[in-house]
Amino acid sequence: MARGCRTSVICGCRFLCAILTMTVCAVWTGAVYAYTVEDVQHGGTLSGKVLLVGEIPEPRGFNLVTFPDPEYCGRISNGQGWRLLHDFVVDAQGGLKNAIVLLEGVEAGKPFNVSVPLIEARDCIFSPFMTVVRNGHAVEVVNMDPVMHDIQGYETSLATGSRVLFNSPLIMNHQHRRGDLHATHNHAPGKSLIGPIKLSAGRRTFYMQCGFHAYMESWAMAIDNPYYALTDEHGNYVIEDIPPGTYQVVVWYPRTGPAQTMTVVVEPDGRLTRDFALQTPKGNWTAYRVVNNPRFSLKALGYPVVIQPLVEFQQ
């Protein structure tokens, strides 16, 4: 089983950490629906599994001596100076974790209680790796690290590529000495930053990356109704209390190609099962690989560097 980045988010941290708030106002093509909350009579259920088809890609490898803060960020590393980014977390049966499954065209139904997602920068990882944001609401980013991060946001499109939405510094958390390898992350409030953004017409996915630490990534999809799910560690999903009707199911995960769509008819009290298969990326899909090159060894900087995986030994 492949291993992936930790995806736990400690919601209470929003009051204890430096916060970067980004207001997301998505602009959509086609009809725009104002979602209405109403009682759902004889709602249906859609469930199934999302599989990754093909060989599971090797995790991307980032040589820590080529990025700032190698010792601190090396608290999670492979013991040889490399940070690994497990883009694909797949179980023994091919179930893909954190794929987004959503319904389009639901105009009214259960309460839309999607809270503002909190993205946490901890040990030089953005968690969660995948999330959703309610259209027109916000995303919060908090820095749990005694090092500085640079938050870069991009909207993405397979047809036209990426476009920069914002670039904002996320100052280090001053509750610890800079780079403190034994930081416990008990933080006091930090300075808030606000950066409003708008997605271009026809785009609904975006991702964040740290400009200092390229291995820090977080992906998101904007939603306009509460009928969605992120797959669990076995690739399973469940969407409940769906008003009877005909809808488009959309399934998406980064780097597996275009989103898959399927038309489903939800009958009163009906229970549908629909599985999806996403294709693994082909060929040399990334330039970030673990290589044995003495030019980028721990001695390359010309001064002693000790990179110890004190938090997690990656394999």
pLDDT tens for 56-65 read: 999 999 999 8
Instruction: Give the pLDDT band of residue 188 (cuts 50, 70, 90).
Output: low
User: For residue range 36-90, what is the model confidence (pLDDT) as tens digits?
Assistant: 999 999 999 999 999 999 999 999 999 998 899 999 999 999 998 999 999 999 9
Average pLDDT over residues 137-158: 81
Comparing 124 with 25, the larger pLDDT belongs to: 124
Reported as a pLDDT band with limits 50, 70 and 90, residue 120 is confident
pTM: 0.81
Tens of pLDDT, residue by residue over 267-302, are 999 999 999 999 999 888 888 989 887 676 777 667
Residues 250 and 278: beta-carbon distance below 8 Å: no
Q: What pLDDT shows up at residue 60?
A: 95
Q: For the chain, report the end-to-end CA distance as a whole number of angstroms.
A: 11
Q: Domains plus CATH for the chain?
A: 11-31+40-298 (2.60.40.420)
**pLDDT tens digits for 232-241?**
999 999 999 9
